[in-house]
Structure 1
Amino acid sequence: MVLHLIAQIPGVDESLKAASAEGWVVMLFVTIVLASFGTLGYLIRKTMTEAREREKDANTRINQLEDFIRTKMIDSLQTNSVVMEKMLSAAQSICDAANEMSSAIAHCRLHGGGPREIATVPRSSG
């Protein structure tokens, strides 16, 4: 029925004959366009897949780096705590020694031991 309606249009026969003679060009054009779209779709899909893989790898590396930094910070804090403990112990020992010296000096002064002269070694002339 559609062909019957088309056949009634003047000049349709010449148009169909011209189109059928050049039909292979149209088919080639359609094939090229479809192949281009297919290739473009394939490349987009491949690029997206590679991007997802890179993102996964980057997330893995970031997590490893965060774990490494966390571990190093904890180790550093522990080391600093040990060093600080040793420094406080040394400071306490210095304070204890200073207190003992102060007590000894006070004890000497109470028992009449005044300040003593520092012994000097005579120099030989020569």
Structure 2
Amino acid sequence: MLKTVIDRFKSFLTRPTTGQVRQVDPAQIRKWWDAGQVLIVDVREPDEHDHEAILGAMNLPLSRFDPALVPHPAPGQHLVLHCMKGIRCAPASDHLVASGWQGEIVRMKGGLIGWIAAGGPTTLRH
């Protein structure tokens, strides 16, 4: 009986739910990126994104964030939100959850700074 309860609890903890938000280390996101398993949304302002961005990231700034503009990731992909330090992506994920977003939402720990530290490629423009 105890094993059944534990198994059900583990299943509950690992199942994807509506608007499930979790933070993930940039090194893991880099692995997903290398495998083509991410849809990355940069919630920084356009001037920040234009200066330096994660390769392939789309820009939907928090100042005018509209959950309806966030594309749904392809099967097997993770939706990843990022900003500069990992702070602004929290309210963006809250907007997605409030809109009824279906599926997992990943917030990148440390944002672009963490991505660069993990060796992730960017489009640095001087």
Does the alignment reach a TM-score above 0.5? no
**How high is the TM-score relative to the length of structure 2?**
0.20
Higher relative CO (Cα under 8 Å, sequence separation at least 6) belongs to 2
More helix by percentage? 1
More strand by percentage? 2
Structure possessing the higher radius of gyration over alpha carbons: 1
